[in-house]
Amino acid sequence: MPKGKVRLDNNAPVAQLDRANYKHMKKKGKERQRAIILRKRGMPYLQIARKLKVSTSSLSRWLQHIPYEIKKFDITKASDAFKNRGRILHLERLLRSKSIVENAKREIGTINKKDLLIAGAILYWAEGTKHDEEVCISNSNPLIIKFAMKWFREICEVPEDRFKIQMHLHEDLDKERSLDFWQMITGIPKAQFTKPYIKKTSIGHRKNLLYYGTIKIRIGDKNLHRKIMGWIEGIHSSRIINYRVPVAQMDRATAFHKGASMRKSNA
């Protein structure tokens, strides 16, 4: 039987029923008085219902004539509740993101030499020099530079003394600090760093601050350049890329892109 309910037994004496009803009404009267007090203190219906374990329909009857004024502490509590809820949602998003990243890392697994060859060739295809038969790749991301150096050393088997590094810096950057940083990232002696290219800075228009600038890795080896171009040719001529553009149109687009790259390098 639900708590607070009085079971009517027709066989019970009248006096016994009267005493049960009296106790029930007395209890309800106390709950009503407590509800009125809590409401006058500014407590909302749901909190009163939970505290007294009564229904909101009973509260609406008892408290319909009680004016309700939102107290300052109620607003503060509500604000804190929203903030806590926001923190919980933020934590849940972080946990979901971390789970996605960890699952993706497991999908990659162990990278073998063939994987490294293809990944490096695609990186060079995107970021490297495709003309003048000069092996050259530029970037400002130290992780990409470290990967490129590993690829050049382990896959391309470039001797250490063949590397030449040039920094591209804005004039407001500390040249020596940048040199120390990129020497640490590449593992190349400072003697193999050529004269840096210094670009004049307009602080008001700079949105992306490159604290150590950009570096260009250069290797003077025509045969290596031809080999890398062959790897790239092997990737884009394989069946993993489905060309739906007519061949003649694709050739014109490729020629235009190559010409634009050459014009940019000569500028």
- Tens of pLDDT, residue by residue over 73-110, are 555 666 666 677 777 787 888 888 888 988 998 999 89
* Cβ atoms of 142 and 185 closer than 8 Å: yes
Digit-coded pLDDT (tens) for 3-19 = 444 454 555 554 554 55
- Say yes or no to pLDDT of 257 above 60: no
C-alpha distances in Å from residue 207, one per residue of 24, 112, 186, 203, 215: 73, 39, 26, 9, 19
Q: What integer pLDDT is reported at residue 117 of this predicted model?
A: 96
Digit-coded pLDDT (tens) for 173-192 = 889 999 999 999 999 999 99
Residue among 32, 89, 36 at smallest CA distance from 66: 36
pTM: 0.59
Rounded CA gap, 187 and 191, in Å? 12
Residue 225: phi, psi to the nearest 5? Answer: -60, -45
Cβ burial, residue 9 (10 Å; 0-12/13-18/19+): exposed
Mean pLDDT, the chain, integer: 79
Q: What integer pLDDT is reported at residue 119 of this predicted model?
A: 96
Complete edge-to-edge strand list for the sheet that includes strand 163-170: 135-139, 214-219, 163-170, 197-199
Residues 128-152, mean pLDDT to the nearest whole number: 92
Residue among 138, 127, 148 at smallest CA distance from 232: 127
Residue 193: phi, psi to the nearest 5? Answer: -90, 125
Q: What integer pLDDT is reported at residue 17 of this predicted model?
A: 46
- Say yes or no to pLDDT of 249 above 80: no
Rounded CA gap, 196 and 23, in Å? 93
Q: Where are the alpha helices (DSSP H) in the chain?
A: 14-40, 45-52, 56-62, 72-108, 113-127, 142-154, 175-186, 222-236, 247-266
Which residue carries 């007090």 as its tokens?
37
C-alpha distances in Å from residue 122, one per residue of 101, 163, 176, 228, 244: 22, 20, 32, 10, 21
* Mean pLDDT lowest among 19-23, 45-49, 130-134, 232-236: 19-23
- Say yes or no to pLDDT of 203 above 80: no
Rounded CA gap, 195 and 185, in Å? 18
For residue 245, the number of C-alpha atoms closer than 13 Å in the C-beta half-sphere is 8
